[in-house]
Amino acid sequence: MSRVAAIVLAAGRGTRMGSAVPKQYLAVGGRPVLLHSLQRLEESPAVQDVILVVGSGELDRVREMLAPYGLNKLRQIVPGGEERSHSVYQGLKALPEDCAWVVVHDGVRPFFTPALLERVIAAAQSHGAAVPGVPVKDTIKVCDERGLVIHTPPRSSLWAVQTPQAFRRDWLAEAHEKARQQGITATDDAGLLERLGRPVQVVEGEYTNIKITTPEDLALAAWIWERRQADAGRFRL
């Protein structure tokens, strides 16, 4: 099977968290959020290599933080850019040459399961690109700049998209090269492929696969961690 590498994004400043420490370094279950994400990839047989993208001034700090944990798949830690797309581009440049498939993951989503990662990679290898998503629970309104409703899209067609996302390497590289040429950024990589007319398959995500962005998310993350530890303890019994 073709080699799969993961790019983990951890270059964000996390201003919405309102903490002095970037959100990816805050602790859940006694360990940094970022470490949870990296350990899940380390344990997965579906991924062979990991590239970590961090803030330009954080390289030494992160190397020191991760050194005790034996992350054997972590090949490089590279500085990111001002925007998410710029950080993914830096990660792409650091990939091993023989990597044919790329997983892109937000370092502040620490709770994805092995089954989710495998579903996404399998769907990408069938369709070229795949993202996990969960059906939207709330009614969504599209509004103008004054806050007036323009229309209400049918909820049945709406999905909240998550990471890890998986792509053919050549497709993702092409999408980022063209985006750079045109000065385009995107909140997820699938959006750049969509601009090129590439098919993107949505697979079943997980509601517990939260992105830790605000203090409320951090509290929810602590609850998910404690619940999973309790479940694991019952299973061992």
What's the CATH code of the domain at 24? 3.90.550.10
The Cα 40–Cα 58 span in angstroms is 22
**pLDDT, tens digit, 9 for 90 and up, residues 97-143:** 999 999 999 999 999 999 999 999 999 999 999 999 999 999 999 99
pLDDT over 90, % of the chain: 84
Which residues lie below 8 Å from residue 195, measured CB to CB, with a gap of 6+?
175, 178, 179, 184
pLDDT on residue 13: 72
Domain membership flag for residue 146: no
Choose the weakest-confidence range: 10-14, 27-31, 51-55, 65-69.
10-14
Domain membership flag for residue 108: yes
Q: Which band of pLDDT confidence, cut at 50, 70 and 90, is reported for residue 18?
A: low
* Residue 78 Ramachandran class (φ > 0 left, ψ -120 to 50 alpha, else beta): beta
Of 117, 115, 119, 129, which is closest to residue 188 (Cα–Cα)? 129
Domain membership flag for residue 16: yes
Q: What is the pTM of this model?
A: 0.94
The Cα 235–Cα 114 span in angstroms is 17
Domain membership flag for residue 189: yes
**pLDDT, tens digit, 9 for 90 and up, residues 169-179:** 999 999 999 99
* Alpha helical stretches, state H, the chain: 33-43, 59-66, 84-93, 114-127, 169-182, 189-195, 215-236
Residue 137 neighbours by CB distance under 10 Å = 9
Domain membership flag for residue 66: yes
Residue with tokens 């991760």: 66
Q: Which band of pLDDT confidence, cut at 50, 70 and 90, is reported for residue 237?
A: very low
Counted domains in the chain: 1
The residue-averaged pLDDT of 35-59 equals 96
What is the domain range of residue 33?
3-130+161-236
CB 133 within 8 A of CB 203: yes
Domain membership flag for residue 156: no
State the chain's mean pLDDT as an integer: 93
**pLDDT, tens digit, 9 for 90 and up, residues 56-102:** 889 999 999 999 999 999 999 999 988 999 999 999 999 999 999 99
Domain membership flag for residue 137: no
**Cβ-defined contacts of 135-143 (< 8 Å, 24+):** 135/159, 135/160, 136/160
Domain membership flag for residue 101: yes
Is 16's pLDDT higher than 80? Answer: no
pLDDT on residue 75: 97
pLDDT on residue 236: 47
